Amino acid sequence: MEIFNHNSNFNFLGLRKFTVGLGVVLVIASVILVAVRGFNYGLDFTGGLSVQVAYSSPVEVSDVRQALVNAHFDDAVVVPVGGANGLQIKLPIRVVDEAGANLPADKRADKVRDEILAALKASRPDATVKDRSFVGAQVGEELRNDGYIAMIFVIIGIMGYLWIRFERRFAIAALATEVHDVLLTLGIFALTRREFDLTVLASVLAVVGYSINDKVVVFDRVRELFRASRNATPEEVLNRSINSTLSRTIITSLFTGITMAALYFIGGPVVHGFAITMLIGIVVGTLSSIFIASPILLWLGVSKKDLMPVTKDNPELARRP
């Protein structure tokens, strides 16, 4: 069975002004979104208190919110978890700090938890507290910094590898596309105000891994076709590379997408953020592999002679990639 016409020769490069232009616009929009709206950072990063509450019968989120507002917890975020009876209430670290400056941090968290429980019991006596977790603000800041440093380290490592295995232009094109993918994924997070927590940061790194995988497959074909071609123009070679890897690019995206969708629908709230980030990243990464990476290669002036193996005098070696 084949979904894609194997003889397809769609002129992807012909659209390059439009596609790359769109990519640039989206990247700029993402940067602005991230800068202006910022992320809805999770507790992992901001520090704060999360209280898991359970009721013996279903409860309306709006009622709980009202009960909290009545008790002057205006900044509380109420999220339903685990069916209609469970809720998660999140409070920024500021509220916890204000609860009692003279108490040790964990005692203050206990105090706020008890106040919340009292506020909830006032409106519904069947409220019980299941868990609570508390994160200091400084810990969160360090986690975030660690994550960003890891991301930079990963991107530099990948660039270095591509520079050695392929050529400088491939490394630059990969870097540019990687940045595009990461920024777009982050931009979507800033736009939708989805919670950005530690698992999401990890999955953004996984998106980097997935997306580079995708680009390398296309680049590999570009290298192979350049070496094999006699006098095709770079544009022809790049177009042929995208077309001949198109079926693989999309099938792999679909397969990985299937597993992530399964994780999203079945894996429960803990992995929601992870699965949704991967799904966004897979779509963005697949599109950029097709529409953005190769035009950048073309503009950087990739050519046949850059890709010929150094040991030209040994034909046996020259055949190897």
Partner 1 sequence: MSDFPRWKYALVVLVLIFGVIYALPNVFKPSPALQIAPNRGQVVDDALKSKVQGILDQNKLAVTDVQVDLVAQRMLMKFPDAESRDKAADAVRPVLGDGYIVALNLASNVPSWLGAIHAGAMPLGLDLQGGVHFLMEVDQNSVQDKLETTYADDVRSLLRDKNIRYESVARNGRGAGIGIILKSDADRDAASSAIALDHPDLILVNGNNTGDRFVLNATVKPDKLRELAQSTIRQNLTTLRNRVNALGVSEPLIQQQGDNRIVVELAGVQDTAEAKKLLGAVATLQYREGLANPSDPRAQDAQRTGNIPPDANLVLGNHGEPYLVSKKIIVTGDELSDAASGFDQQTGTPKVDVVLNSAGARKMTDFSSAHVGKPMAVVYAERVTDTKVVDGKEVRTARTSERVINYATINSTLGKNFQTTGLASPTEASDLALLLKGGALAAPTDIVEEGVIGASLGADNIQKGVQAVLIGLGLVLLAAAFYYKLFGLVADVALFFNLILLMAVMSLIGVTLTMPGIAGIVLTLGMAIDANVLICERIREELRNGSTPLASIRAGYEKAWATILDANVTHLLAALGLMTMGSGPIRGFGVTLFIGILTSMFTSVTVTHAITALIHGGRKLKTLSV
Phi then psi for residue 53, to 5 deg, are -120, 145
The residue among 33 and 275 lying less far from partner 1, judged by its C-beta, is 275
Supply the minimum distance, in Å, between the C-beta of residue 286 and partner 1: 12
- Selected from 125, 301, 315, 321, the binder of partner 1 by CB under 8 A is 321
In terms of C-beta density within 10 A (0-12 exposed, 13-18 middle, 19 or more buried), how is residue 283 classed? middle
Compute, in degrees rounded to 10, the torsion defined by CA atoms 210, 15, 190, 194.
-60
For partner 1, which stretch binds (CB under 8 A), given 15-23, 66-74, 212-220, 232-240? Answer: 212-220
Burial class of residue 132 in the structure, from the number of CB atoms within 10 Å of its CB (0-12 exposed, 13-18 middle, 19+ buried)? middle
* Interface stretch with partner 1, choices 28-36, 62-70, 92-100, 293-301 (CB under 8 A): 92-100
Q: At closest approach, how far in Å is the CB of 32 from partner 1?
A: 26
Pick out residues in 268-297 that bind partner 1 (CB under 8 A). Answer: 268, 270-271, 274-275, 278
Question: What is the rounded distance in angstroms from the CA atom of residue 235 to the CA atom of residue 12?
Answer: 10
Contacts 24+ apart (CB under 8 A), 265-271: 269/81, 269/82, 270/199, 271/199
Interacting residues with partner 1 between 12 and 51 (CB under 8 A):
50
Task: For residue 41, report the phi and psi dihedrals to the nearest 5 degrees.
Answer: -60, 140
255 binds partner 1 (CB under 8 A): yes
Judged by CB under 8 A, the stretch of 60-68, 70-78, 149-157, 291-299 that binds partner 1 is: 149-157
Q: Between β-strands 195-196 and 128-135, what pairing exists: parallel, antiparallel or unpaired? A: unpaired
Which region, judged by CB under 8 A, interacts with partner 1, from 19-27, 141-149, 179-187, 231-239? 141-149
* Per CB under 8 A, 146 contacts partner 1: yes
Burial class (CB in 10 A: 0-12, 13-18, 19+), 14: exposed
Nearer of residues 20 and 260 to partner 1, judged by Cβ: 260
The CA distance from 250 to 240, in Å, is 16
Options 15, 80, 147, 232; binder of partner 1; rule CB under 8 A? 147
Residues in region 104-133 near partner 1 by CB under 8 A: 104-106, 108-109, 130-133
Site size for partner 1, by CB under 8 A?
A: 84
260 part of the interface to partner 1, by CB under 8 A: yes
